[in-house]
Structure 1
């Protein structure tokens, strides 16, 4: 099981566009999303992420280089996993229910909560409060063939963990995993940060989440 100490950055609630700069200043390092769990899907684009927190929000910065890029999902809570998509799944220690924050390369989000096989959409107000920034802009587009590098940043307030009452992340431990997928790209792929031991592609597997230690 992999582990990360999530560095605390002292600041207010930043804009998503400022996340990368804040992490640079705070020397927050990158982690690869490079585990190919299923031999039928061997393609491994160059994907990395870094994560920090402010106490009241989780900050995530993804950087991706892949052979094609796609952003067709027209609106939040759509089929973003079929696009070029980065994902963050997280749960409290000892619980079966978990949140999934799935975001395509232009910042279109899918957020659900519940147990595996019994998922429920987050309220619209929750999605409205999650800040997103993408180097590719925010407009949908058809698949573009050819090498593309892009960056995505998210600011996820503690209120986004809407089935829990977390006022301050400082000092707590959560379980989570980070993914990169693209189900309908010319070369489908399913990468994870923490390894998954299942026979077929599936990210909804909280038993394989790693540990996230949030600095005080």
Structure 2
């Protein structure tokens, strides 16, 4: 099981701009989403994330290089996993239920909570609207080069509406992080902590790793 520590960043810094937060997160340790799952082609985008937290939010940055880019979905709780998509699943306080937060490369968000794949309840839209994002897409310099994109997110604790989170300091959460793109020319499924299951399914908390929110 994988484990890492997310460092604390003073909330005041996030008030400047998410662009600055994005640069600051680059100083955190990279965590690679490099387990290629359920693949028939071997195609594997290059993906890593950086994570930190403040007094009232989780900060998360994804950096992706892939062949194709798709951003069809524009509304909250649309099926963004069909686009160029990154995801975080997180469970607090040893809860058997967990949150799934899924984002396309422009920051459109799907968020839900429940105990398994078929037991999901969407997070209220006005809470999801509290998530702020900054994205940067770099077109390929050459015809066969990869497209690079970054997505930086500020996720308020209020999004986790089924928990009353006032602080994450020194707390440990169960997590997994993913990259997918179900409707891309080459569909793919990547995870941070590996999954052992015969069929594509990210909703398997028994394969979550851990993050500690350190000082």
Give TM-score, length-normalised by structure 2: 0.91
Map of 1:179 onto structure 2: 178
The number of residue pairs the alignment matches comes to: 207
Question: What CA distance in whole angstroms lies between the structure 2 residues aligned with 1:93 and 1:37?
Answer: 28
Map of 1:142 onto structure 2: none
Please list every run of 5 or more consecutive structure 2 residues that lacks an aligned counterpart in the other structure. Answer: 139-143
* Deviation of the 1:28 alpha carbon: 0.6
Alignment RMSD (CA, Å)? 1.7
Aligned residues of 1:41 and 1:188 also touching (Cα < 8 A): no
Map of 2:141 onto structure 1: none
Please list every run of 5 or more consecutive structure 1 residues that lacks an aligned counterpart in the other structure. Answer: 138-144
Question: What CA distance in whole angstroms lies between the structure 2 residues aligned with 1:206 and 1:41?
Answer: 26
Q: Aligned match of 2:25 in 2, 23, 26?
A: 23
Aligned residues of 2:70 and 2:84 also touching (Cα < 8 A): yes
Map of 2:160 onto structure 1: 161
Question: What CA distance in whole angstroms lies between the structure 1 residues aligned with 2:18 and 2:99?
Answer: 20
Q: Which has the higher strand share?
A: 1
* Deviation of the 1:136 alpha carbon: 3.7
Map of 1:152 onto structure 2: 151
Question: What CA distance in whole angstroms lies between the structure 1 residues aligned with 2:128 and 2:13?
Answer: 16
Question: What CA distance in whole angstroms lies between the structure 2 residues aligned with 1:96 and 1:90?
Answer: 10
Runs of 4+ aligned structure 1 residues displaced above 4 Å come to none
* Deviation of the 1:9 alpha carbon: 1.3
Map of 1:83 onto structure 2: 83
* Deviation of the 1:146 alpha carbon: 6.6
Q: What pairs up with 1:38-53 in 2 under 5 angstroms? A: 38-40=38-40, 42-53=42-53
* Deviation of the 1:13 alpha carbon: 6.6
Instruction: Decide which moves more: 171-180 or 28-37.
Output: 28-37
Give TM-score, length-normalised by structure 1: 0.91
Task: Describe the superposition over 1:5-58 as per-residue Cα deviations: whole angstroms up to 9, x where unpaired.
Answer: 11111232714333212224xx21211111012243521111110101113111
